[in-house]
Amino acid sequence: MKKLFWTGCITGMLWVFGAQAQESLVRVGRIQALGKTNAPQDIYDVRIQSPKSAMFSQDGKKLYINALEGGQTLVYSFPDLQPLRSIDHTFGPADAALFQNETTVFGYPYFHGKAGQYNHFLGKPVEMAMSHNGKYLWVPYYRRSFDLNASSPSALAIIDMQTDKVVRVMPTGPLPKYVAISPDSRQAVVTHWGDNTLGVLDISAEHPKDFRYSGHWVVERKLPTEGIKGNRDNNCGFCLRGTVYTPDGQTVLVARMGGGGVAGFDAATGRYLGTVTDIVPNPRHMVVSHDGRTLYVSGNQSGLVGRYDLAAVVQALKAAGAQRVAGPGGRSLSVGMGVRTIELSPDQRSLYAAINNEAKLVKVDLASWSVVARSDVDPFTVGLAVSPDGKTIVTTSQGREMVGGYSVGLYRDAAR
């Protein structure tokens, strides 16, 4: 395995016919399972199987990659990109202690699998979240391998980030795609794409063995999953996905990709507040500015990113009476069709977006609210992470319909 060093990044501002061109986002490395190459900054790793998401450790010394179809979370050192560990999400009889005698939660029945063997499966890791000041990594599974229609309970892994080992596996509802952690790391919510619900966990204890579920929240109505058929990426009710806490920890916001809008819950009581609908269509991912004033939302099908006054959104939700209301509205910007994951730079001056349909990485300048850089990435990008120092942007490309994918790109922002 070759070491990757940050070399060859000699770019900057270009001038064309007297006009300032866009800033450059330069690819400085790639980890991929497409085949061996002679490129010095191209690392071949057969484990990069449908990479879904990426995340840096808090200190920026490790990079985590969820290989969905490979059933692994891959850990690399950073910035030299040496493989450190493969966290395997395959479980059998020898792993029973990780489950603490749990097979389901909230009374969810199993429609597939064998009784007594529900905890014997391969999990398909989706997104990631950190808790307890970067001590634990949360990884939900799209489904258990025997549950082809994602109609039965799935699970999530809790990983100790010091040892990079799974220390507990907890059951979830069907098709969990997202986990959000409260600002004080005392509560977590796992968002169930599969049936319009969220599972709420009390994580105030120091060790995952003492974490427990404390609530089951429903957005309007729970979607029955018995006998459900078709593509579960589409047959998913409100298709709940991106989830954030407000900085004060009092309100949880959830993006509704199916039907649109952002739903809200009171974090302390679990009361469903309602949904604001004047949001970019098909909202997928959400981030909140560090000062807590602004909510950013990506709209997948529309290709828009929206920015909203967070306090005004929360106020509208609290007055909604568990109904759908227009809300305060905001501003939107076209960044490219199929905008998926979005992330803010640490200095809060820029927003980066993974554009799936067009296979692009886009940079938005927040002060001017305009696209200032657009770079080609391997098709079709879905995940995105920004290093703690703001200098490196990582994209994950899953591909689509047997085209592209199986690669993780590393880009340097020449303006930083």
| Least trusted range by pLDDT, from 125-139, 188-202, 399-413 | 399-413
Beta-sheet pairing, 42-44 with 25-32? parallel
pLDDT over threshold 80, residue 20: no
- Position 3 scores a pLDDT of 36
User: Tens of pLDDT along 229-241?
Assistant: 999 999 999 999 9
Nearest Cα neighbor of 47 from 15, 1, 102, 114 is: 1
Residue partners of 319: CB distance under 8 A and separation at least 6 = 325
Binning pLDDT at 50, 70 and 90, where does residue 402 land? low
Tell me phi and psi for residue 318, to 5 degrees.
-65, -25
Q: What is the pTM of this model?
A: 0.94
| Least trusted range by pLDDT, from 273-287, 326-340, 401-415 | 401-415
pLDDT over threshold 50, residue 60: yes
Element (H, E) at 73: strand 72-77
Nearest Cα neighbor of 252 from 221, 217, 297 is: 217
Higher-scoring residue by pLDDT: 268, 23: 268
CA distance 51 to 408: 7
CB 71 within 8 A of CB 125: yes
Q: What is the mean pLDDT of residues 382-398?
A: 97
Mean pLDDT, rounded, of the chain: 93
CA distance 214 to 229: 30
pLDDT over threshold 70, residue 199: yes
Q: What is the mean pLDDT of residues 267-287?
A: 98
What the block records as the tokens of 109 is 């029945």
Higher-scoring residue by pLDDT: 401, 374: 374
Beta-sheet pairing, 294-299 with 272-276? unpaired
pLDDT over threshold 60, residue 9: no
Element (H, E) at 315: helix 310-318
Task: Report CA-CA distances (Å) from 12 to 20, 251, 345, 390.
Answer: 11, 42, 18, 16
Binning pLDDT at 50, 70 and 90, where does residue 15 land? very low
| Least trusted range by pLDDT, from 10-24, 248-262, 297-311, 315-329 | 10-24
- Nearest 5°: the CA angle 127, 128, 134 is 170
CB 24 within 8 A of CB 17: no
In percent, the amount of the chain with pLDDT more than 70 equals 94
Q: How many CB atoms lie within 10 A of CB 304?
A: 22
Exposure string of 35-59, with b = 16+ CB inside 10 Å and e = fewer, is eeeeeebbbbbeebbbbbbbbbbee
- Position 403 scores a pLDDT of 74
pLDDT over threshold 90, residue 376: yes
- Position 12 scores a pLDDT of 33
Binning pLDDT at 50, 70 and 90, where does residue 39 land? very high
For the CA atoms of the chain, what is the radius of gyration? Answer: 21
- Position 19 scores a pLDDT of 34
In percent, the amount of the chain with pLDDT more than 90 equals 91
Question: Edge-to-edge, what's the strand order for the sheet holding 339-344?
Answer: 339-344, 350-355, 360-365, 370-376
Question: What are the E-state strand segments in 103-162?
Answer: 121-125, 129-131, 136-144, 155-160
- Position 23 scores a pLDDT of 63
Number of H helices, E strands in the chain: 1, 34
